Structure 1
Amino acid sequence: MRTFRRRPRSDDGSTTVEYAIVTVAVAAFAAVLYSLLTGDSVVSWLTNLVMKALSVPS
């Protein structure tokens, strides 16, 4: 009985690499977004926006 071996394809493992690259890109985007949203200027801008929205016009 003779067993046949599959030839390795040139794109073996490419899906795993693509998932890894996308995961790293999403983590980097999340880190940038977190740093932007926790900055002093953004927090003060959001606080002013909420206070303006909750204030009663006279």
Structure 2
Amino acid sequence: MKTPIRVAVTGAAGNIGYALLFRIANGDLFGPDQPVALQLLEITPAMKALEGV
């Protein structure tokens, strides 16, 4: 098994972050067989919105 790539996404609850996360998790960025560890970063006021991501 491959070692996961750690990816940090800032502004993860925003529109661009939301669309980007799906592409990364779907394998479109690193390939379908590459595991990823997503680290979602957001400012405190947007943390509630991040729960929906």
User: Does the alignment reach a TM-score above 0.5?
Assistant: no
TM-score by length of 2: 0.30
Which structure has more helix as a fraction of its residues?
Answer: 1
TM-score by length of 1: 0.28
Q: Mark the structure with the bigger radius of gyration.
A: 1
Which structure has more strand as a fraction of its residues?
Answer: 2
